[in-house]
Chains A and B, each alone.
Chain A
Amino acid sequence: MIEAKNLSKRYEDEVLALDALNLQVSPGEIYCLLGANGAGKTTTINLFLNFIEPSAGQAFLNSIDVVRNPLEAKKYVAYVSENVMLYGNFTARQNLDFFAKLAGKKDLKKEEYYRVMREVGLPEKAFEQRVKEYSKGMRQKLGIAIAMIKDAPALLLDEPTAGLDPKAAAEFLETLIDLRKRGKAILMSTHDIFRAKEVADRVGIMKEGRKVMERTREELQYENLERLYLDYMRGGIGPEAEGPKTAL
């Protein structure tokens, strides 16, 4: 379970990056946060990872307050960044091994690393290849493999498909769907409206630090997400009640 209660972040320069965000992502659910640059998506993820401290409100991972008990909370979350850059001189397996051990997994056999790398779609020949020879798509796949090997109940993905070619992005989403089936709670920030609509169980649109709209998969069957998004981007910043509702 990923949960935010009135989560806010005001930076030292007085910029309000996140304004009273309420959010709940249940096990087996993919929640996509949409929004322009600076909307507060990455700030939300950084708050969940305790990279920054909230100005107000609380963030919970598996019901553990990430500020009060950050190390305990981090046991229950895996993270994939926008641009996965690993240790270039290490092979994929060495990178996987290092992060698996940091996540608390020990005595994993080589075959288990290979299995996860296969699952994310990395070719066999790349398993023992140095990561500096990887393409961005391959690095992203290895990033999700690192998240998968942790086997945490919650996943935080910060624009993980940015810069990926359509095939790689599609493969990435297949992996996400698979993780959902395994009961993971997934919070993903993205610019990719179409992919969000494809995989998300719920979508939230953020603007200037506020969540201005939230729709479920069912609701989106009757609404055009792209139109909604553009309307909110052009329109006011008020939350749901103030925002426009555009029917198909």
Chain B
Amino acid sequence: MIVGGMMLLTLLKKEIQDYLISIRFVVLLALCILLIPLSLYVNFETYKRWSADYNEQVKSETIKGSRGRGGLSGLRPPSALSVFANGVETSLAKDFSIQSPRIIFGTGRSYGDPIYETFGRIDFLFVVQAVLSLIAFLFAFDAISGEKELGTLKLAMANPVPRYKILLAKFAGGMIVLIAPFVVSFAIGSTILVFAGYPLFQGIILAKVALILLLATIYIGLFFVLGLFVSTLTHQSKTALIMLMFVWVVLVLGVPRLSMMAAKVLRPVDDDSVVALRIKLLTESIDKEKGNALKQLYFDKAREKKLSPGLLTFDSADPEFVRKRNEIAGPFEARMREELARINADQQRKRQAQLNLARNIARISPASLLSYLMTDIADTGEHIKVRFLDAVRLHYSALDRLIFSKSYQDTISDGNTGWGFGGNLPGQETPKDPPRFSFSFPRTAESLGQSVVDEGLLLACAVALFAAASVAFIRYDVR
């Protein structure tokens, strides 16, 4: 009698042969070869354009010296890994400007084509998440139930074959046939990228790409095991297929979208434009109060200096005037800072709570987990959004400490006429070369660390499903 290893090899060889000569394999091969290199190439072309735009803007701002004006604007560089997962790249602001005390964010990047804007774009993440998960199901749905229908399972098990070996061979055989065209297509796509000028070997990009490939493999494996599990629960491949199609729609199309919708209902957060309007009204209101409080001081100074009617001045040469002005304006300016900080923190807290809830709901689906993980590694995920916004706020705080707190901006009104005064407060030194906005992408370990829960869940899901499929198959009625 043959030893166990030989038997496993026989079963494995048969599984691979059976898949290789099936139409399913042809479909998989065609889709992988077509979609993966094409999506990588097209997304790289877009990234090149984004990158060129970014570099052009950096150069232009440096020449114009707008950074010399106090770093009042900043740019967000595109992520080179957006080629693999677009993520928030098109929705997150590509730049910002500061009109103290407000930060005004620009628009996101565009694909540059109305068709893409309307129908969305295929990236590597989509190919894995939607297309390959579906194909994994199509590979697995009849693995057990189909052999039962055919009668070959009975015939095989009339021999001294342990059940676990049959399942193991089905898993390993299916995975080899599924993953091989995927990896080959990925290698072809990556080679095309390198020849087209993609910086694959620059910095940590290669490590991150390897991580993306590993995640994709785990995800495809998870769907294949889920397919095997459902196949072991059914006695007709038709039933297994219908069940799996339902599961696919729920996991891939339903949960990821519904999670955000549910979070919006359960944890409503004001739109950013509403918050911006609130800030605008608040600053205007405090400015007005401050102006009213300062009005008498300015009018007294105009009388003292015998200015013509209708003229007011900020007398920087008079230390007493400056002291009184600061004494009056100080509490208003402090209140303004406090209120703005409170509104921003409140909005940030609510937004984060909503995102956390959405993320927790979405964890039901491996498709959502993959999105979170892959976009995090590709530096196009929610973490990047938070990182960018934090960097902008940090930059604002630095400017506030170094510049805005050392300047004044007063608006005086007597009901009919308005006067505006602004500039550096006398005796307050501001840096000639204020800090420039800088933004860096996280390192691989950092990206992974941020999503460690999701990574653990994805792996645990795959292992648990394989265990469930094994238990179900041990109890499977082969008759």
Contacts and interface: CB of A to CB of B under 8 A. Distances in A.
B386 to A, nearest CB: 52
B159 A103 contact: yes
B152 A86 contact: yes
Interface string B13-25: 0100110011000
A74 B10 contact: no
Given A51-B479, A101-B2, A79 B155 contact: yes
Contact of A104 (B150, B154, B158, B160): B160
B27 to A, nearest CB: 15
Given A75-B160, A104-B160, A81 B2 contact: no
Which of B1, B11, B160 has the most C-beta atoms of chain A within 10 angstroms of its own C-beta?
Answer: B160
B478 A51 contact: yes
Nearest to A73: B160
A99 interface: yes
A85 B152 contact: yes
Contacts, number: 74
A125 interface: no
A222 B316 CA distance: 136
Nearest to A143: B155
A74 B158 contact: yes
Given A72-B160, A101-B10, A52 B479 contact: yes
Nearest to A74: B160
A155 to B, nearest CB: 11
Given A71-B160, A74-B158, A99-B155, A89 B10 contact: no
Interface in A57-79: 71-72, 74-75, 77-79
Contacts of A103: 159-160
B14 A85 contact: no
Given A75-B1, A85-B151, A102 B479 contact: no
A71 B164 CA distance: 13
Contacts of A99: 155-156, 159
Given A89-B21, A90-B17, A106-B6, A51 B155 contact: no
Contacts of A83: 151
Contact of A102 (B7, B17, B154, B478): B7
Contacts of B155: 79, 81, 84, 86, 99, 143, 146
Nearest to B19: A89
B1 A79 contact: no
B7 A101 contact: yes
Given A74-B159, A89-B18, A89-B22, A81 B151 contact: yes
A103 B478 CA distance: 18
Contact of B10 (A46, A75, A86, A102): A102
Given A84-B155, A102-B11, A104-B160, 7 more contacts: A49-B157, A51-B157, A51-B479, A87-B18, A89-B21, A101-B10, A104-B1
**6 A-B pairs with the lowest CB-CB distances in the bound complex, closest first:** A104-B1, A79-B158, A101-B10, A71-B160, A102-B159, A74-B160
B162 interface: yes
Contacts of B152: 85-87
Task: Kindly name the residue among A71, A90, A101, A106 whose own CB sees the greatest number of chain B CB atoms within 10 A.
Answer: A101
B161 interface: yes
Given A71-B162, A72-B160, A84 B151 contact: yes
A208 B156 CA distance: 29
A134 interface: no
Nearest to A105: B2
Contacts of A98: 10, 14
Interface in A85-114: 85-87, 89-90, 94, 98-99, 101-104, 106
